[in-house]
Amino acid sequence: MKGSTYRRCSCRDPKTGKELGSSCPKRNSRNHCTYSIRQELPPREDGSRRSFARGGYSSLKAAQANLDHVRALMGLAESDDLEGVQLIAEMLTEISGEKLPLPDVEETRRRLKAGQDLVGSLTVAEWLDRWLAGKRIRKSGISRYETDVRVHLKPHIGDRRLDRLRVSHLSDMFTAIADVNAELLEQNAQRHTAVEELAAVPWKGVENRARRKAMKAAIDAMPPFRRVTGPSTRQHIKAALRTALNDAIGQQIITFNPAAHVEIDPVRKPKALVWTDERVGRWEQTGEKPSPVMVWTPEQTGAFLDFVAADRLYAMWHLIAFRGLRRGEACGQPWSETNLDRHSLTVTGQLVQDGWEVEASEPKTDSGFRVVALDDDTVEVLEQHRKQQEADRAVWGSAWVNTGLVFTQEDGSWLHPGKVTDLFERLVAASGLPPIRLHDLRHGAATLMLAAGVDVKIVSDTLGHSDTRITRDIYQSVLPHVGKNAAEATAKLVPLQRKAEEEKAARKAAKSAKKAKKAKATNTGKGNGKPKRKVSPQAKAKHQKPGK
């Protein structure tokens, strides 16, 4: 393809306004004219011509260097790669028209091979939009990612170039989030104080009514209550960005993931604590739970199951309490995957909430797909539940909704997971037992299995954990007597010389005491505490047998 460099004078005739060109009297003066380049480009698909043109170079050397740069870019696509040739030509046409700087040759080569845009640089916001559009996960997961992107990532780093995103930018983002949190906490505290002051003002009286009106107006003018971005949410924001940037690396758009290196406050997950008598007493006095995650003892679990024995969903409470199914898994368990003859069920799906809407979904992870063994009592409970469901179906007749699920509403339709949680909390409150969440009933199943001596790997598989470390981390605190037995068994494994000597001395002292007691008993006559009667020689002789 033809290409050239040439001198050009931009002086114009003051009368006509036309460029003087070669007729300029100063053309031959040094440094008066500038140099330009023009390079013929491959024609468009319709056959029309196009070229790359640029001027304003101060020297012929600079102009030639840029012309060589253009030709190097054109040489990135092989002659038989028609698509690549057209992409390079379109890129150079756009750069020429917009007067953009020429891109790096090696960077353009990489982009061409990766199938990326050759012109311009993606911003973080543009990439996040493209990344979200390509995600193929359940709706609730997409909604969570969209919230992180819309509320946090785009406002803070959306306008930055994706390939120039650095760890410092992300540190600044999380610092800004922390600053907003502090502001929200102050605003929430002010509004809460104002609401409490309003509640303390009596309703009666003209002055009081005027005062209440003024206070209400002041409260309305305050910012509304808003939730702060907690540690778990910040970790999720970081995880979402890290996943998006990893995908960008996979597509060779960037080579470094700053989200993998930014430091933020760790999330300290609460450990499961058991409702001991002491903790129950403290809760009855103060109404405060020792931990957000509380677990019933076996006796408390039994008391709850006895209390709800007549509830229509008793079989669900029983199954979660003994086998540790998640709420969504129990709500979405089909009869087709529940084999009572073989004492097992297979978890293959769940019902999940997206806002308040409910949708069927697969388990979140591969470990969620699992077979759960059933004990005889649980099988009997499920058989009774199936008989009751068949009776309900007969009552509803043609209005019965045939979802095929084990646990349903009265008409056979889906259970709403949120309503199931509300019902459980009402039943717990009515039972008088210390409060736990529905998910804590699952935690209780884990502690029961561990207390029964079940191997942690089996417990992990039953619960659907991807790693036994998750099981150990969550259930570090198990039933008290289990920990006591483990402590005693551990202590017996370590031989202590000092302890052995003390035990030997104790045994020797006990033996001496026993010997002394026996000797005392001998001296006092058959050990009855009475002194021996003295016998005279005549009496002895009288009682002796002949020949002795």
- 314 has a pLDDT exceeding 90: yes
Residue by residue, DSSP assigns 207-226 as: HHHHHHHHHHHHHHHSPPP-
pLDDT at 474 over 70: no
Instruction: Encode pLDDT of 144-181 as tens digits.
Output: 899 999 999 999 999 998 988 999 999 999 999 999 98
Percent over 70 (pLDDT), the chain: 86
Q: Where are the domains of the chain?
A: 3-114, 124-260, 273-489
- In CATH terms, 124-260 corresponds, of 1.10.150, 1.10.3470, 1.20.1070, 1.20.120, to 1.10.150
Residue 31 has pLDDT above 90, yes or no: no
> Which residues have C-beta within 8 Å of that of residue 95, sequence separation ≥ 6?
52, 101, 102, 103, 119
What span, in angstroms and rounded, lies between the C-alpha atoms of 385 and 407? Answer: 9
Rounded CA-CA distance 432/479 in Å is 21
| Per-residue model confidence (pLDDT) at position 150 | 93
Contact 330, 405 (CB under 8 A): no
Residue partners of 359: CB distance under 8 A and separation at least 6:
138, 139, 140, 351, 352
> Is a pLDDT exceeding 90 seen at residue 387?
yes
- Strand-strand pairing, 273-274 and 294-295: parallel
d(CA 331, CA 435): 22
The domain defined by 273-489 folds into: hpI Integrase; Chain A (1.10.443)
Average pLDDT, the chain: 85
Residue 331 burial by Cβ neighbours in a 10 Å radius (0-12, 13-18, 19+): buried
Please count the residues of the chain: 548
Q: Would you say 433 and 300 are in contact if contact means Cβ atoms under 8 Å apart? A: yes
> What is the predicted pLDDT for the residue at 546?
53
Q: Which of the residue ranges 50-64, 218-232, 413-427, 534-548 would you say has the lowest mean pLDDT?
A: 534-548
| CA 21/CA 188 separation, integer angstroms | 72
Query: Given a cut of 50, is residue 348 above it in pLDDT?
Result: yes
Provide the pLDDT for residue 134.
84
- pLDDT value at residue 28: 67
Predicted confidence at residue 486, as pLDDT, reads 57
pLDDT of residue 278 exceeding 80, the answer is yes
- Rounded Cα gap, residues 253 and 268, in angstroms: 35
Local confidence band at 548 (pLDDT 50, 70, 90 cut-offs) = very low
